[in-house]
Structure 1
């Protein structure tokens, strides 16, 4: 009788090796690069598995450097709100500018929307697919650690998001904390004293905006700003905003919405509940999307220079494709005063 044998695991890329070793892709990358951050025992085990399965150190990265597909991958991870749609106004505006910039540089764009909860290796598989020359990640969501791990061993990646001192991955984005300060200062200047924040502070960029607004409330001696968790998916946001306003009406006089999309939905609900804006409640959004000029009344907001951000993402990615290590680019926000505050 022959003994049943389990099939030998196939190790095609760094993600496969990480699964086999029971560690993160970043740990494998650091171990194969001989980094001292990985303890000797773990490094020896990873090196032995790599030899056993014929995986050469850095073979994925070197292969990607050699290939020329003419395609840049753009991926949107939705870990904090799996129902959010790519048709969101911010995504569509940034994607439009990215498409223009990449086309100008002779590249095509491949778009992926991923839900990390059901696809833990979303980034490793994308960059190891052989279909792209480099990748732009739109938003850190709740995937900061995953992005950091990949950045350790993969150079041609740039992320739209919030910059944190000491991080490994290269970011292009707005100074979100300063933007939050601008929003709260405007609400206070317009006479608002009891403020709330609409948004999910579990998302890194939103957390920074909320923190900036809290800085201002503390400095001016205002009550702490109340964070009202609000999804960005349209099937949830409207109902959540309706509930927030109904619960807090009469107790607040200022709302800082994490995005213009949420602010526009908020205006609709204020009108439905018979609450005047800016008469009773002042409102400030964030992004300065085209919708901000089209609401009734027009929306006061904090502007992100999305076009400049797209140019920065592509420029830094091209430099990294050429083998250069680049610094992050943090863009200044700008307060745009209209009629809601």
Structure 2
């Protein structure tokens, strides 16, 4: 089998390499518009003309300028992925949840031919989102989490169409959202703890975040429905590991008899297991611990963590698909993902 050789460089053909589309059009003997359509794969051109121009471009080593293309199309080729941290100003994008979801979003955007512009924002005024949009650096936006900025997102969505949000699906919101059924996830996790015999439960998480508030509502609904009536308490806990550990440790030093803990994230659950170990309380022997997200780290805690699973790969795909459809002017409905339970040793009876 012979290997097909690469096209000779422009110097080897005796022709100078064109510096722009206009020069290539002059060499090809066609209009600039024809060259633009042929290279972009658009317009009403014959297959013969399109192939001739592309072959000539390859022969001469010509690559169209992305900047010039963007100026012609009014597009940047970039999608902004924005992480607002109004509720948690010390949280970092290195958080395992963010890293997992962002990696999946990035893969989907690259496969669709877009660059990703990552923006972490600690909102200082209500115009922070308008500032990002009006800078003109992006073609559309994916917002990862509503934080405590749901009203800002809703206001901007009424003037800016190409935006999709990962988070809670709220009544009468104007933006498109993709997220898990957090209420059902709260019910699912709590029912599991109750089935393991837990009767004095606590929920660890920050209800200022809409997703966490919905999980808390599911937690409380499951407790109300259980007979005989178990007890359910709330401890507002930060997502930042060290701050979570400090708050949980203070709580456990005072709380007695807690036998089941529903953590609003796997990171909070991991800090819970660490705090319980400090007080000499065994998991799951004395206290059963359950997380939310089912990230890869859940398999590596000691003991391995039972967690309510969010399908983040499917969620990222739905975010990108919904955004591109909105950019094309198509109607888009909210996407609600059904959570499942991954049971591991942190809740299994010994």
The bucket for the TM-score relative to the shorter chain is 0.7 to 0.9
Cα distance between partner residues in 2 of 1:181 and 1:261 = 20
2:303 aligns with: 297
1:335 aligns with: 341
**Root-mean-square deviation (Å):** 1.6
- Aligned counterpart in structure 1 of residue 85 of structure 2, from 75, 78, 84: 78
Is 1:139 aligned with 2:145? Answer: yes
Deviations 1:198-221 (A, max 9, x none): 111111000000100100000004
Deviations 1:155-178 (A, max 9, x none): 100000010232211000000000
**Matched pairs, number:** 277
Q: TM-score, normalised by structure 2?
A: 0.77
Q: TM-score, normalised by structure 1?
A: 0.79
How far is 1:154 from its partner?
Answer: 1.0
Mind listing any 5+ residue stretches in structure 1 that lack a counterpart? Answer: 1-63
- Tell whether the 8 Å contact from 1:72 to 1:109 is kept in structure 2 after alignment: yes
Cα distance between partner residues in 1 of 2:273 and 2:242 = 17
How far is 1:85 from its partner?
Answer: 1.1
1:227 aligns with: 234
Is 1:180 aligned with 2:202? Answer: no
2:49 aligns with: none
Is 1:103 aligned with 2:110? Answer: yes
Query: Structure 1's 207 and 224: CA in aligned 2 closer, same or farther, altered over 3 A?
Result: farther
Residue 163 of structure 1 aligns to a residue whose secondary structure is coil
- Aligned counterpart in structure 1 of residue 172 of structure 2, from 166, 170, 193: 166
Describe how 1:104-253 pairs up with structure 2 within 5 A: 104-116=111-123, 118-221=124-227, 222-248=229-255, 250-253=256-259
Cα distance between partner residues in 2 of 1:137 and 1:299 = 28
| Larger of the two Rg values belongs to structure | 2
1:306 aligns with: 312
1:87 aligns with: 94
Cα distance between partner residues in 2 of 1:293 and 1:277 = 15
Moved runs in structure 1, 4+ residues, more than 2 A?
221-224
